[in-house]
Amino acid sequence: MRFTKQWSFIGFAIIVFYSFGFSQKFKGLALTPPMGWNSWNTFKCNVDEQLIREMADAMVTSGMKDAGYQYVIIDDCWQGERDSLGFIHPDRNRFPSGMKALADYVHSKGLKFGLYSCAGSKTCGGRPGSRGHEYQDAYTYAQWGVDYLKYDWCYTEGLNSIGAYTTMRDALYAAGRPIVFSICEWGDTKPWEWAKEVGHLWRTTGDIIDCFDCEVNHGSWSSWGVLKIVDMRRGIRQYAGPDHWNDPDMLEVGRGMTTAEDRAHFSLWCMMAAPLIAGNDLRTMSKETIEILTNKEVIAIDQDSLGIQGMKFIDNYQGVEVWIKPLKNNDWAVCFLNRSEVKRKIQFDWSKHWITDDISKRTLDTQSIHFIVRDVWAKKNIGTTQKPLVGEVGIHDVLLVRLIHPQNVQ
């Protein structure tokens, strides 16, 4: 429509005029790590509006929405062409109803809508990128009703990452619609050191793949298994917190690993206060996958309002790793991770381990305070810290407990 295009250009021009002097991100959009679903891991470029509608439906009917998942995010390859004025349009064959109608549908389900773009001239899938069109694209996303933008880093020759991401941040702010900004430059320029005031989350590594401990070499880059990603970035937990999160990439739960590996993967992401962005086909989930993705007690560890990223406390304790995460109201999460190919029996004497965290300035005092020990996967209390924790951790599995301070017992 000529009228619509004319007013789009006028609106865009007004935004550009008034944008000078504005340089901040929208505050308070991600006080806890974002939760949602993204199309890439399972569907790659095979996306269309019917698929996205079905995923939004499944997020509701599966119980994921009730568990806290909000964002339905279309990754790469939704783009069609730019018009004569430079405005981006969706692929008309795949999204004939347009993005505004699709966003409206997602919103009608009580969910939020996300899109993908790229700082380069093209996206990683070869579609039009946002380079040179940042303010146009931000304006367009705002008009469509977008709530979340994942912004990639392909075809960015000659660009400075801080400058490129700051430009899009400013464009989003100028457009006036609060949009969560997900920085995806794979950790190459240490975004944890500069991105707190630019984005709400930033990728810390290259792409994840659905295996527990592997590397898949693609020549100039690699995909990484769960444990490879966990090991790749140490010493950066101090950079994470409310509204600014380290992002170890999307979840591979329900994508081919064993149930134990999925459980361990999900537990580690929650211990690391990572965004929980599912990547499986929500329409065909097994009972086990649903139980993992919707376990509210485990999710509560990730979504804890204190916003402290957990850490490995002991490398090797009776064959397992011990991870800790301080939680609000003086609770703690403790995760025993078994990386090995054999089951591990453990006996963890709380009184012999003085656990302190320099980031949160918290100390776990089990000698004078008797915490209730709750197995959050089994959803039952299994004793107190007065006695050693005795249990078995399966192959590639975890034992994840919440230590509940007596003051929090009703």
Give the C-alpha separation, 183 to 163, whole Å.
Answer: 12
Residue 207: active-site member: yes
State the virtual CA torsion across 7, 9, 10, 12 in degrees, nearest 10: 120
Indicate which residue of 75, 207, 247, 249 is catalytic: 207
CB atoms within 10 A of CB 209: 20
Q: How far apart are CA 293 and CA 68, in angstroms?
A: 10
Tell me if residue 122 falls in helix, strand or coil. Answer: strand
Asked if 331 is an active-site residue, the reply is: no
The helix, strand and coil proportions of the chain, stated in percent and rounded to the nearest 5, come to 30, 25, 45
Q: Is 1 exposed, middle or buried (0-12, 13-18, 19+ CB in 10 A)?
A: exposed
CB 76 within 8 A of CB 91: no
Structure tokens at 9: 């250009």
Terminal alpha carbon distance of the chain:
61
Question: 330: helix, coil or strand?
Answer: helix
> Which pair of tokens denotes residue 109?
């389900």
* Catalytic residue, candidates 75, 152, 243, 281: 152
Partners of 364 in beta bridges: 355
Burial pattern 77-109, b for ≥16 Cβ within 10 A else e, equals bbbeeeeeeebbebbeebbeeebeebbebbeeb
For 271-294, the DSSP string reads HTT--EEE-S-GGG--HHHHHHHT
Active site residues: 152, 207
